[in-house]
Structure 1
């Protein structure tokens, strides 16, 4: 007698494999699938998380185009890539749904007839509200109204689903024309990490999404086991996806204890393939064309246009060597793509970087090779249930530290800085967004090892992650999490390589820790010990900041 019909686990418009295999697993019927439906080589399609449409949010953000200042902050903080921006010619929206919002975009970097839209995926949004919190555009007549405002999802679902589907049909903006050094420009780039199964308001995923927007079409990722490997590659669906050219991150998972070495292996193998390709191409330069070979071997790939030109040249060579009947030509075909820039990244949490995989991480940064390491620091073993790590701060309660951790957290950044040749940044996307963007760009452009330590609020802290951004600001302002960048290239310019991105602590540490259960639990059953550890932690925070401040003040001028 029911009038309700159960919806299919994935859309009827999904690809056949997603409907017939992934959809059945999502529905809990995977054990009934015949082996014949599983790919024999184990290959699994990417970009499948976007088909799940979990509909978790009770409320979703609604965009007010008239108030918007197009700053790009909302997609920057979104943990699930559920709100995005695109810039496009106005003519492309003539057949748009009547409720699709867009407005003329301002900025000298855009054409006069181009419009911008900020669109929400209503069924992918988790309703965390971070985009509304970060929005700086406020109605002067009604301060409670912003350019983004939360509204109930059910009445908006059908309308915004249609708008989202139309939004996806609009072309991506030419990456060669984007200003990646601005938040507005970078956030127009397509994210290649979307709709993951991470927690509502997750503090890790915005860093991953940012990396894929900047470098995703050429990324190779070695991912340590942990939260980022679960929401990053937990079958049956994966949030990593590709652009229209079929390019996207190559994602791999390895064990806790060898992820850094695993990622270094990517770099070594790519460099070896590139050297082999260079040798083979040089030997075939008479058939290929000497000028073309020289252009490829001497290509500047430090910019998006430079990378695209190199890919075009390599395509030209591929066409040429098809007609060359030799073993060298066939061998060159197998390695030629290594001559286009590849960006190697190693992802993991503090349990990996500070503890179980720390010796491997140290080995990799000591190698001097061009790898980028992203440590999403939750200051605890989040995925396995909240055990203490060497990153856990003094006074915090965790498993194996039930009376509060008695010693200070390990200063991983200073260990890396001591080498002198490692790019190091300590960032918090909710506290300093532009500095975070700059750190990622500087790290990737550095021809050597880079280490980004990213503050990542977590439910294991005993907080509501709708306050994610507030917690980051409190951590920075209290001195718990100082922000800085260490760029070895500045020494060559006679400048100090260490730059502080946060000011001296303006809040007592207690103002931060009293907002998190991991700290204030100790005050409930052991107040005297909690006060002792708090006092020590306060002294440590001040000493640590002053130490970094002194280092940043050292003159590197030859005069």
Structure 2
């Protein structure tokens, strides 16, 4: 009689995993059939679909090069190595790498074609950050490369906005010829060695994505062009992987857009263990996993729950609250889109007053959502000894500091992230970063960090650092003199468009929404000891 395997035997996890799924078969036969369009007719119902298993990182095999007519073009002469384009890309379609000058020459000399060799040489920038500074420190100067993966790029142009005034990126039309060049360039990038650690500055948090151990979201997910959620997930994994390593991370994903685009069979963008759960009980599932990990002596592993408005603000709020009360070392990433994007754009308790959504549509009698927004951060502060941060992926340092601090905190921690949903907010595909910044500037979504380790009082624990004009009601743009209030923000988004008349004047409902945002901001100021 065959001996039954013990699937709790932690000494033979690699062997057990191979027994559960044949990666080679899955990638070649299953993913291959989906890629060539024959899966529906040819694939049998197998043990993998029966178990709802998708191996790690299969999204890397997905090709989106047919999605958009344009693709970013890199101009190395203008690049400063800020890494913002690499950080903000929601699809892991644009990556950076630093190579020592001599090593690059060695690799380029292997290229026989002089035209191709010169093209590849032009993909490397001589920046102050990676060339001049290391040289002054007695380290061999490094050359910085930006590589665009045409099979992952959806053409959202978020990277172009992130690059800003540097003008190192611009969108160009795709052709058969330039797609071939992009693929060859990216292939050269993948064959280069990893960025040496001496070029990765610990104090420059954006540099984390230069390390291979930080690239734990491979792209190939079915998210919308420019999705604000995907960038936040990538950054959370980058910050966690950089410090703890990919082998020490697990994810419990609550039902929502994130589970749809990250597990559309057979494609999965994660290079870490993950499980999908219903949105009302993801934190409860995490409690069970954490308890088992702790039994196994895995206290050092980081466990993250990912969920949106339904999972954390509404139907799953009780599960979240119970998890926080447990005091267990579990971290939560809340993807706050202020709307149920996954199920067609209904309002949630994180939606703003007056917001035009399904189930709170703008009409003659009721002009959008009639309830005030629930402030999850303040509610979480009232739980005993829970770390909470409110941040955006556009505020790169604040976001990374929030994730790093949450991981270090010896107990439950929640990081709430403003995540632009382009279709439901009524904004352009390249606007996630812009709208997140504006949400902070207009007090629609203030930045905050509440750390119980800082003291006994709320004033000591709560920091509003990172918000503009932190002691004032509203931020005033230093160049234009415009007051950046909630109405200014609302003018830029389709979900509030019906509240303005033909002359651009806001109605009473929108004025009440602005009053609500100001009350919330003043309350935070008071709690932080600034009023």
Question: Is the CA contact (8 Å cut-off) linking 2:94 and 2:148 kept in structure 1?
Answer: yes
Deviations 1:189-225 (CA, angstroms, capped at 9, x unpaired) = 2311122211001010111111222224021000001
Q: Give 2:168's match in structure 1, choosing from 132, 147, 155.
A: 147
Which 4+ runs in 1 deviate beyond 6 A? Answer: 492-495
Distance 2:43 2:438 in 1: 53
C-alpha displacement at 1:466, in angstroms?
Answer: 1.8
Deviations 1:242-285 (CA, angstroms, capped at 9, x unpaired) = xxxxxxx11100011111111122211111111xxxxxxxxxxx
Distance 2:218 2:430 in 1: 19
**TM-score with structure 1 length normalisation?**
0.77
Distance 1:460 1:475 in 2: 15
Tell me the equivalent position of 1:377. 336
Tell me the equivalent position of 1:194. 218
Tell me the equivalent position of 1:319. none
Q: Give 1:515's match in structure 2, choosing from 468, 478, 492.
A: 492
Distance 1:81 1:42 in 2: 25
Question: Is the CA contact (8 Å cut-off) linking 1:226 and 1:349 kept in structure 2?
Answer: yes
Q: 1:480 to 1:495 in 2, by over 3 A?
A: closer
Tell me the equivalent position of 2:387. 423
Tell me the equivalent position of 2:267. 237
Do structure 1's residue 224 and structure 2's residue 254 form an aligned pair? Answer: yes
Distance 2:338 2:162 in 1: 24
Tell me the equivalent position of 2:231. 206
Tell me the equivalent position of 1:390. 349
Q: Give 2:39's match in structure 1, choosing from 20, 30, 42.
A: 30
Q: Mapping of 1:134-533 within 5 angstroms?
A: 134-138=162-166, 146-154=167-175, 155-173=177-195, 178-190=200-212, 191-195=215-219, 196-216=221-241, 217=246, 218-241=248-271, 249-274=272-297, 338=298, 341-402=300-361, 403=366, 404-430=368-394, 432-458=395-421, 459-491=423-455, 496-500=460-464, 501-503=466-468, 504=472, 505-506=474-475, 507-523=484-500, 531-533=507-509
Q: Which moved more, 1:184-193 or 1:167-176?
A: 167-176
Deviations 1:345-387 (CA, angstroms, capped at 9, x unpaired) = 0001112110110000011111111111000001011001011
What is the root-mean-square deviation in Å for CA atoms of aligned residues? 2.7
Question: Is the CA contact (8 Å cut-off) linking 1:220 and 1:250 kept in structure 2?
Answer: yes
C-alpha displacement at 1:152, in angstroms?
Answer: 1.8
Question: Is the CA contact (8 Å cut-off) linking 1:424 and 1:451 kept in structure 2?
Answer: yes
Q: Give 1:548's match in structure 2, choosing from 509, 524, 529.
A: 524
**Residue segments in structure 2 that go unaligned for 5+ positions in a row:** 1-22, 476-483
Question: Is the CA contact (8 Å cut-off) linking 1:67 and 1:137 kept in structure 2?
Answer: no
Q: 1:34 to 1:437 in 2, by over 3 A?
A: closer
Distance 1:385 1:42 in 2: 25
Question: Is the CA contact (8 Å cut-off) linking 2:325 and 2:384 kept in structure 1?
Answer: no
Distance 1:550 1:43 in 2: 49
Distance 2:79 2:523 in 1: 41
C-alpha displacement at 1:15, in angstroms?
Answer: 5.9
Tell me the equivalent position of 1:49. 59
Deviations 1:5-44 (CA, angstroms, capped at 9, x unpaired) = xxxxxxxxx9664343212234443233353866487653
Question: Is the CA contact (8 Å cut-off) linking 2:57 and 2:268 kept in structure 1?
Answer: yes
C-alpha displacement at 1:170, in angstroms?
Answer: 2.0
Question: Is the CA contact (8 Å cut-off) linking 1:181 and 1:437 kept in structure 2?
Answer: no
Question: Is the CA contact (8 Å cut-off) linking 2:64 and 2:150 kept in structure 1?
Answer: no
Question: Is the CA contact (8 Å cut-off) linking 1:89 and 1:115 kept in structure 2?
Answer: yes
**Residue segments in structure 1 that go unaligned for 5+ positions in a row:** 1-13, 139-145, 242-248, 275-337
Q: Mapping of 1:126-141 within 5 angstroms?
A: 126-138=154-166
Distance 1:230 1:114 in 2: 40
C-alpha displacement at 1:168, in angstroms?
Answer: 1.3
Q: 1:238 to 1:418 in 2, by over 3 A?
A: same
SS in 1 for 2:296: helix
Question: Is the CA contact (8 Å cut-off) linking 2:30 and 2:43 kept in structure 1?
Answer: no
Question: Is the CA contact (8 Å cut-off) linking 2:99 and 2:196 kept in structure 1?
Answer: no
Q: Mapping of 1:86-165 within 5 angstroms?
A: 86-90=97-101, 91-92=103-104, 93-94=107-108, 95=110, 97-98=116-117, 99-100=119-120, 101-104=123-126, 105-106=130-131, 107-108=133-134, 111-138=139-166, 146-154=167-175, 155-165=177-187
Q: How many residues align?
A: 461
SS in 2 for 1:116: strand
